Amino acid sequence: MFEQKMEDALNQQVNAELWAGYLYLSVSCDLDDKGYEGIANWFYIQAKEEVKHAERIMKFIKERGGKVQLMPIAAVKQEWVSPLEAFEDSLKQEQVVTKMIYGLLEMAIELKDYATQNLMKWFVDEQVEEEENPRKIIEKLKRIEANPAGLYAIDKQLGMRKKD
Protein backbone atom coordinates (compact mmCIF):
# COMPACT_ATOMS: atom_id res chain seq x y z
CA MET A 1 0.00 0.00 0.00
CA PHE A 2 1.30 3.44 -0.99
CA GLU A 3 0.89 5.71 2.00
CA GLN A 4 -0.33 9.27 1.49
CA LYS A 5 2.56 10.62 3.56
CA MET A 6 5.04 9.04 1.12
CA GLU A 7 3.08 10.17 -1.93
CA ASP A 8 3.04 13.76 -0.65
CA ALA A 9 6.77 13.70 0.06
CA LEU A 10 7.53 12.32 -3.39
CA ASN A 11 5.42 15.05 -4.96
CA GLN A 12 7.51 17.58 -3.02
CA GLN A 13 10.60 15.97 -4.47
CA VAL A 14 9.16 16.28 -7.98
CA ASN A 15 8.78 20.00 -7.33
CA ALA A 16 12.37 20.23 -6.05
CA GLU A 17 13.72 18.45 -9.13
CA LEU A 18 11.75 20.71 -11.47
CA TRP A 19 12.92 23.75 -9.51
CA ALA A 20 16.53 22.61 -9.94
CA GLY A 21 15.94 22.23 -13.67
CA TYR A 22 14.50 25.74 -13.76
CA LEU A 23 17.51 27.06 -11.84
CA TYR A 24 19.95 25.42 -14.23
CA LEU A 25 18.07 26.83 -17.22
CA SER A 26 18.43 30.26 -15.65
CA VAL A 27 22.17 29.73 -15.17
CA SER A 28 22.47 28.51 -18.75
CA CYS A 29 20.73 31.59 -20.14
CA ASP A 30 22.73 34.01 -18.01
CA LEU A 31 26.12 32.49 -18.79
CA ASP A 32 25.28 32.17 -22.48
CA ASP A 33 24.45 35.90 -22.49
CA LYS A 34 27.89 36.51 -20.95
CA GLY A 35 29.70 34.53 -23.65
CA TYR A 36 30.27 31.26 -21.81
CA GLU A 37 28.58 29.07 -24.40
CA GLY A 38 30.27 25.86 -23.25
CA ILE A 39 29.40 26.31 -19.59
CA ALA A 40 25.88 27.33 -20.62
CA ASN A 41 25.64 24.05 -22.54
CA TRP A 42 26.70 22.10 -19.44
CA PHE A 43 23.96 23.74 -17.37
CA TYR A 44 21.37 23.27 -20.13
CA ILE A 45 22.05 19.54 -20.22
CA GLN A 46 21.99 19.47 -16.41
CA ALA A 47 18.55 21.14 -16.50
CA LYS A 48 17.26 18.36 -18.75
CA GLU A 49 18.68 15.76 -16.37
CA GLU A 50 16.81 17.30 -13.43
CA VAL A 51 13.56 17.16 -15.38
CA LYS A 52 14.25 13.48 -16.11
CA HIS A 53 14.66 12.91 -12.37
CA ALA A 54 11.25 14.51 -11.79
CA GLU A 55 9.73 12.36 -14.54
CA ARG A 56 11.19 9.22 -12.97
CA ILE A 57 9.51 10.03 -9.66
CA MET A 58 6.22 10.98 -11.35
CA LYS A 59 6.18 7.66 -13.22
CA PHE A 60 6.83 5.84 -9.94
CA ILE A 61 4.00 7.67 -8.17
CA LYS A 62 1.59 6.69 -10.94
CA GLU A 63 2.82 3.07 -10.99
CA ARG A 64 2.05 2.87 -7.27
CA GLY A 65 -1.49 4.13 -7.82
CA GLY A 66 -0.77 7.61 -6.51
CA LYS A 67 -1.56 10.98 -8.00
CA VAL A 68 1.08 13.38 -9.26
CA GLN A 69 0.49 16.86 -7.86
CA LEU A 70 2.39 19.48 -9.82
CA MET A 71 2.87 22.56 -7.68
CA PRO A 72 4.06 26.06 -8.59
CA ILE A 73 7.79 26.37 -9.08
CA ALA A 74 9.35 29.11 -6.98
CA ALA A 75 11.34 31.86 -8.65
CA VAL A 76 15.05 31.30 -9.19
CA LYS A 77 18.08 33.53 -9.24
CA GLN A 78 18.65 35.23 -12.60
CA GLU A 79 22.29 36.36 -12.65
CA TRP A 80 25.68 35.10 -11.55
CA VAL A 81 28.86 37.13 -11.19
CA SER A 82 31.00 34.34 -12.60
CA PRO A 83 30.97 30.70 -13.65
CA LEU A 84 32.56 29.90 -10.28
CA GLU A 85 29.60 31.42 -8.45
CA ALA A 86 27.21 29.45 -10.66
CA PHE A 87 28.93 26.15 -9.88
CA GLU A 88 29.10 26.97 -6.17
CA ASP A 89 25.34 27.58 -6.23
CA SER A 90 24.88 24.33 -8.13
CA LEU A 91 26.83 22.38 -5.52
CA LYS A 92 24.79 23.95 -2.70
CA GLN A 93 21.57 23.04 -4.52
CA GLU A 94 22.67 19.44 -5.02
CA GLN A 95 23.60 19.15 -1.34
CA VAL A 96 20.06 20.29 -0.43
CA VAL A 97 18.61 17.69 -2.81
CA THR A 98 20.84 15.01 -1.30
CA LYS A 99 19.42 15.76 2.17
CA MET A 100 15.90 15.57 0.76
CA ILE A 101 16.64 12.19 -0.86
CA TYR A 102 18.06 10.90 2.44
CA GLY A 103 14.88 12.06 4.17
CA LEU A 104 12.73 10.22 1.64
CA LEU A 105 14.78 7.05 2.09
CA GLU A 106 14.48 7.31 5.87
CA MET A 107 10.71 7.74 5.55
CA ALA A 108 10.48 4.75 3.22
CA ILE A 109 12.46 2.64 5.69
CA GLU A 110 10.23 3.78 8.56
CA LEU A 111 7.10 2.91 6.54
CA LYS A 112 8.60 -0.39 5.35
CA ASP A 113 7.94 0.82 1.80
CA TYR A 114 10.45 -1.36 -0.03
CA ALA A 115 9.62 -0.15 -3.53
CA THR A 116 10.26 3.48 -2.58
CA GLN A 117 13.44 2.43 -0.76
CA ASN A 118 14.65 0.90 -4.00
CA LEU A 119 13.88 4.07 -5.96
CA MET A 120 15.57 6.25 -3.36
CA LYS A 121 18.69 4.08 -3.36
CA TRP A 122 19.02 4.86 -7.08
CA PHE A 123 18.76 8.57 -6.25
CA VAL A 124 21.32 8.26 -3.43
CA ASP A 125 23.81 6.86 -5.94
CA GLU A 126 22.87 9.53 -8.48
CA GLN A 127 23.45 12.32 -5.95
CA VAL A 128 27.07 11.23 -5.47
CA GLU A 129 27.63 12.13 -9.13
CA GLU A 130 25.44 15.23 -8.89
CA GLU A 131 27.67 16.63 -6.15
CA GLU A 132 30.96 15.37 -7.57
CA ASN A 133 30.58 17.10 -10.95
CA PRO A 134 30.26 20.71 -9.74
CA ARG A 135 32.82 20.07 -6.99
CA LYS A 136 35.44 19.05 -9.57
CA ILE A 137 34.63 22.02 -11.79
CA ILE A 138 34.84 24.38 -8.81
CA GLU A 139 38.31 23.00 -8.03
CA LYS A 140 39.42 23.65 -11.62
CA LEU A 141 37.96 27.15 -11.65
CA LYS A 142 39.71 28.00 -8.39
CA ARG A 143 43.04 26.70 -9.74
CA ILE A 144 42.92 28.94 -12.78
CA GLU A 145 41.82 31.96 -10.71
CA ALA A 146 41.59 34.92 -13.10
CA ASN A 147 43.46 33.26 -15.99
CA PRO A 148 41.40 33.98 -19.14
CA ALA A 149 43.08 31.17 -21.10
CA GLY A 150 42.21 28.67 -18.38
CA LEU A 151 38.60 29.83 -18.26
CA TYR A 152 38.44 29.61 -22.06
CA ALA A 153 39.73 26.01 -21.90
CA ILE A 154 37.17 25.01 -19.25
CA ASP A 155 34.39 26.66 -21.26
CA LYS A 156 35.43 24.65 -24.34
CA GLN A 157 35.71 21.43 -22.33
CA LEU A 158 32.25 21.80 -20.78
CA GLY A 159 30.83 22.67 -24.19
CA MET A 160 31.65 19.12 -25.29
CA ARG A 161 29.19 17.64 -22.81
CA LYS A 162 26.56 15.73 -24.72
CA LYS A 163 23.08 14.73 -23.70
CA ASP A 164 23.45 11.78 -21.31
Is 164 a member of any domain?
no
Is 126 a member of any domain?
yes
d(CA 50, CA 23): 10
Is 17 a member of any domain?
yes
**What angle (nearest 5°) sits at the alpha carbon of residue 13, between those of residues 10 and 18?**
135
pTM for the whole thing?
A: 0.93
Phi, psi of 148 (to 5 degrees): -60, -35
* pLDDT at residue 49, rounded to an integer: 96
Is 93 a member of any domain?
yes
The range of the structural domain enclosing residue 111 comes to 4-159
The stretches in the chain having pLDDT less than 70 are 1, 164
Is 88 a member of any domain?
yes
Mean pLDDT estimate for the chain: 96
Is 97 a member of any domain?
yes
* pLDDT at residue 164, rounded to an integer: 59
Q: What is the number of domains present in the chain?
A: 1
d(CA 153, CA 54): 32
CATH for 136: 1.20.1260.10
What letters, b where the CB count within 10 A reaches 16 and e where it falls short, cover 69-101? eeeeeeebeeebeebbebbbbbbebbeebbebb
